[in-house]
A and B are shown apart, each in its own frame.
Chain A
Amino acid sequence: MSRFDRLALKQEIEDFLYMEADLLDQREFLKWLDLLADDLIYFMPIRRNVKFGQHAEKENTKQGEGISWFDEDKWTLGKRVEQILTGVHYAEEPLSRVTHMVSNVRLLEVSPSADDAQDVVVGCRFLIYQNRVEYESNTFIGRRIDTLRRNGDSWLIARRELILEQNVLLAKNLSILF
């Protein structure tokens, strides 16, 4: 694997992530759903204040057990999109104005190789700005780890873990797509 293969792959992955963010910001929700793998895991833990030394074990709620902000699959996300498209989901009617920023992109795992990548684990930071109706605004900042799966010329999101840097959620709703 050459440095150039890895650079090209990183560029390709970044382009995919930016394109995906743009679909959400352009409110192309149905097109966005097409980027999700059928076996998608979409997870946002709740973060807790724990004693030093207990972070690995206790800081974040765990995927697959108990209660998190999100621990769901493609069907549920499809329902979220369907709900917005009813036009009477009042928490998103009128629609929020949203910008998804993606940065600090790093390839964490590539398999089998950069010149023939089929599965990629990519880490990034997200900064999402939501502005609603007149004066309501929320900023969601955190870390994200995505598992992407090769899908012809493009990619599918097979796993998304969103580590939001908040404890008590400071927004009244998580009505946008992350």
Chain B
Amino acid sequence: MTTKLPIDRMIDTKNGTISREIFVSPEFHREELEKLFTRAWLFIGHESQIPNPGDFFVSRMGEESVILCRDTKGAVHVFLNSCRHRGMKVCRYESGNTSLFVCPYHSWSYTTDGKLQGVPLYRVLYEGQLDRNEWSLIETPKLHIYKGTVWASWDAEAPDFMTYLGDAVDHLDQVLDCRDGRPGGSEVIGIHKWILPTNWKFAAENFLGDTYHNPSHRSVDMIGIGPSARAGQTGRRDNEYNKGQHVWASFPAGHGVHSVWMPEDFEYQPSYAQYPLVDEYFRHCFEERKKRLGDKARIMPFTGNLFPNTSYHGRQPRGLCVWHPHSATETEAWRFFLVDADAPAEVKDVLRRFYMRYSGPAGMTEQDDMENWLYATKASTGTIARRYPFNYQQSMGAYKHNDPIPGDVSTQITEQNARNYYDVYAKYLKGDGWASLLGTGDAVRAAAE
């Protein structure tokens, strides 16, 4: 499990420098696929996409196609989308319902629980040799469903998902829970898939807590595209966080979030001007949520990234993004848009329209991110450029532990989340054990605390 890459020299978070090599070199890309994407918990999809027995949704894990499937008995599986005989994709539809996955190549067929069922001319050609039970579709050894979201890992030794998530759960909950604080209850209303000529980590880092990039969204802030923009309000979203303390929190397993810690007596900020029904819905949800969650309601989500490549927007807009590496310099981005499943139709309609004008390749806000990531990647591939590391020295040391919320928490804009993320990234590439990857076996950290 050792690597020849000089990782410690390239990722020097004590001095706040990180080599451009990790963003552009094919060697790092290969190492990531071998050592990181084969172990970390990855986001696969949402139960609302596969409500019925036999439903499937084709997703990705790193560079590979996988099938998320609810078998005919109702159990959920994640399979590698590749026939055990010659590797053909057994499913090239994006979603649907089936009782069998039939390989187009030689017609081997698999049931929805992954078992090899049909082998043409079995008796003549394979009898006594091929044991069907040993040639099921390759299934992830680890799968966990949390509030509708499905996660999987290829590492049988991986810790359970909730341990992996750690204290970041309080922030993910703000994305997945109903706006009125009831647990779960979200649904996916649509998915964007697009290709970015960039390294996937630029995107992950952007959501991890890089609030410093705000100036690149000046154009939307000037003209106003938020839910109240039709009423003349500028800015790209409503001011839901008025009087809140912005916090940037990082966690030992590599997750990082930007949330807002609201004051004890915070009140609903009028939002969705022009849509009284929607404003009323969110006002109602706000009050209900405060009653249900008590002190925890003070956490309001902004953005975050769950290690390694699942990012989220918590409220305006609301959804999960996955950054799938194609190569060192190309990424396939998938965004899953979320709403409360039982929200009124008008609420869903206003939200989806806002999501579309904000997010993704047609989104007025995120287009500028994509421009940044593309040219940051391109301008870092050169021989001279690669000799000079990126600077990660922002707000060095300016954080407290578990104050006011769990995690290493900064109350000023910081690159601490990124420094922590790349520390964990380095551990994966060095092949560390799970105790180290989760930060529980980190002697330095323990001593510091």
Q: Give A contacts to B, CB under 8 Å.
A: 44, 46, 48-51, 54, 61, 65-72, 75-76, 79-80, 82-83, 86, 88-92, 133, 136, 167-175
Contact = CB atoms under 8 A, between A and B. Distances in A.
A138 to B, nearest CB: 10
A23 B428 CA distance: 53
A32 to B, nearest CB: 17
A83 B220 contact: yes
Given A76-B357, A83-B364, A88-B218, 6 more contacts: A46-B191, A66-B190, A79-B225, A168-B193, A168-B195, A169-B193
A169 B94 contact: no
Interface in B191-207: 191-198
Interface of B: 92-96, 189-198, 216, 218-220, 222-225, 229-230, 332, 337, 352-353, 355-357, 361-362, 364, 367-368, 370-372, 374-375
In this complex, the member of A49, A50, A91, A171 whose beta carbon has the largest number of chain B beta carbons within 10 angstroms is A91
B93 A49 contact: yes
Contacts, number: 116
A134 to B, nearest CB: 9
A124 to B, nearest CB: 21
Given A71-B356, A167-B193, A86 B370 contact: no
B14 to A, nearest CB: 33
Given A51-B96, A172-B197, A86 B337 contact: no
Contacts of A173: 361-362, 367, 370-371
A54 B95 CA distance: 12
Nearest to B372: A90
A66 B196 CA distance: 23
Nearest to A175: B367
Given A67-B337, A79-B225, A48 B189 contact: no
Given A72-B353, A168-B332, A172-B197, A67 B219 contact: no
A6 B5 CA distance: 71
B218 to A, nearest CB: 5
A159 to B, nearest CB: 17
Nearest to A166: B194
A70 B190 CA distance: 12
Contact of B356 (A48, A67, A82): A67
A79 to B, nearest CB: 6
A69 B362 contact: yes
Contacts of B222: 86, 88
Contact of B219 (A44, A69, A88): A88
Nearest to A78: B223
A51 B189 contact: no
A83 B219 contact: yes
A78 to B, nearest CB: 9
Given A171-B361, A175-B367, A71 B194 contact: no
A72 to B, nearest CB: 7
Return the 9 tightest CB-CB contacts between A and B, nearest first.
Answer: A67-B190, A91-B367, A169-B194, A89-B219, A174-B362, A66-B190, A91-B371, A86-B219, A168-B193
Contact of A67 (B192, B370, B374): B192
Contacts of B370: 91, 172-173
B368 to A, nearest CB: 5
A56 to B, nearest CB: 15
18 contacts: A44-B362, A46-B190, A61-B190, A67-B191, A67-B192, A67-B355, A67-B356, A69-B361, A69-B362, A71-B356, A79-B225, A83-B223, A89-B368, A168-B195, A169-B194, A170-B194, A173-B370, A174-B362
